[in-house]
Structure 1
């Protein structure tokens, strides 16, 4: 199949390209095609944007992973706008191209995030949960709601739309875990605040395999949570990570310090949600790493970890 991927040079995109490159023809969208080709290989077609395209007649599947990282910088007004527009504008462009296609792609697989659900205490949430009105003022919900709405604009009889609400992706050499490791390796890690907030996570291998399943499945569409079936609270997350590294985890990080250091963005750490992949499991998908201790062991102790 001919597959177009945005965000191909990112943490997840890079792994996805390697998982697909031997069986499919890939068109990769990157702001820096030359650098992308050095990283991912010269066998693919590279575009620096979608402006040169009038349609997607030759594309079977679009996988949209692009977006300014939400946790890389403090949420100034300018940074919030970059986070939003990097998702909304590109997705709108994809939707327009699909609508303009005489033979549109069979499906659009669009990334989203569990931030759609808003911040909750200890309530378990799945794909059927509708966020309350209070979530409408939370920035992650605002980003995801419009992102998903834009992707769904191109849904038709010819084009299925699959939304993956992705949790905290665990990988040793990318994502949030790689930023946590230095402190935990020094024995300076610990729970954030009271440690009761939910952490809904997924091993990088399971996320890639879930995307591969969505490519192959002909009957899947709608929303699917890309989170392991056993979320944990923040205290258990910190304890399990420290145990895997054979380090202590008794230094809690006060909420006030995070708020002072990160501002509004601190809510990503001080609040959370327990998200369950109910619809995902109904597809028959089997998680290789449903439990956190096994996920950490593979990533941090296995010689084959990546």
Structure 2
């Protein structure tokens, strides 16, 4: 794709590339901004190589790289698998519950994509996450409260791996990622905190 962009006589004005917060590696204690160095695990290396592949396009057009967190919506991903479990009253923290979850509501992610495409001021790397990351324990408590269900039974790692496959590692090994660059850009979140995001998602799924 980048080769096509750079070779075109009249190419696109902007290239928006989706990376992931896995760029930073997993950590229970670190806090990461766009200026933080990349991690050394497999997913981090994949993200770093993916982002490096977009750099030649910078000579031809505006390039925006979004390091995407866990996108929350009612009909897919980790939350989509958790909703039925909580409805049965058997939900709870995932894994230890102490790992960080850097998330973004699906509506805000779509708004961010539109802004990255349409606003010439967007350029470079942005963490596509809400400004208030939470632990998985806090996430489970907020989801239980939004659904009016208990949040007492921990979800063991093997069960989550059976439900999500390789995607389970995204929620079992997290990182605390900040939305500093989006704040500096003036991006306004419709759902900046998890309780209000989950309230909307639960209502949409009912």
Name structure 2 gaps, 5 residues minimum. none
1:159/1:122 Cα in 2 relative to 1: closer, same or farther (>3 Å)?
same
Counterpart in the other structure of 1:122: 29
Provide the rounded CA distance (Å) in 1 between the counterparts of 2:55 and 2:107.
26
Higher helix share: 2
Name structure 1 gaps, 5 residues minimum. 1-93
Deviation (angstroms), 1:176: 2.1
1:181/1:262 Cα in 2 relative to 1: closer, same or farther (>3 Å)?
closer
1:228/1:261 Cα in 2 relative to 1: closer, same or farther (>3 Å)?
closer
Cα deviation 1:108-129 (Å, max 9, x = unaligned): 0011110111001132211111
Counterpart in the other structure of 1:221: 123
Counterpart in the other structure of 1:210: 112
Cα deviation 1:189-230 (Å, max 9, x = unaligned): 111232111001000110111111112211321100110000
- Tell me, yes or no, if structure 1 residue 113 matches structure 2 residue 20: yes
Of structures 1 and 2, the one scoring higher in RCO (CA 8 A, sep 6+) is: 2
Provide the rounded CA distance (Å) in 2 between the counterparts of 1:269 and 1:285.
26
Counterpart in the other structure of 1:181: 83
- Tell me, yes or no, if structure 1 residue 278 matches structure 2 residue 185: no
Counterpart in the other structure of 1:144: 47
Deviation (angstroms), 1:243: 1.0
Deviation (angstroms), 1:259: 6.8
1:260/1:242 Cα in 2 relative to 1: closer, same or farther (>3 Å)?
closer
RMSD: 2.2
Deviation (angstroms), 1:102: 1.1
SS at match of 2:53: helix
Provide the rounded CA distance (Å) in 2 between the counterparts of 1:264 and 1:217.
35
TM-score by length of 2: 0.91
Deviation (angstroms), 1:169: 0.5
Q: How many residue pairs are counted as aligned between the two chains?
A: 206
1:253/1:283 Cα in 2 relative to 1: closer, same or farther (>3 Å)?
same
Cα deviation 1:227-246 (Å, max 9, x = unaligned): 00000001000110111111
1:149/1:232 Cα in 2 relative to 1: closer, same or farther (>3 Å)?
same
Counterpart in the other structure of 1:27: none
Provide the rounded CA distance (Å) in 1 between the counterparts of 2:69 and 2:172.
15
Provide the rounded CA distance (Å) in 2 between the counterparts of 1:211 and 1:187.
35
Provide the rounded CA distance (Å) in 2 between the counterparts of 1:177 and 1:260.
15
Provide the rounded CA distance (Å) in 1 between the counterparts of 2:88 and 2:55.
45
Provide the rounded CA distance (Å) in 2 between the counterparts of 1:256 and 1:209.
35
1:256/1:207 Cα in 2 relative to 1: closer, same or farther (>3 Å)?
closer
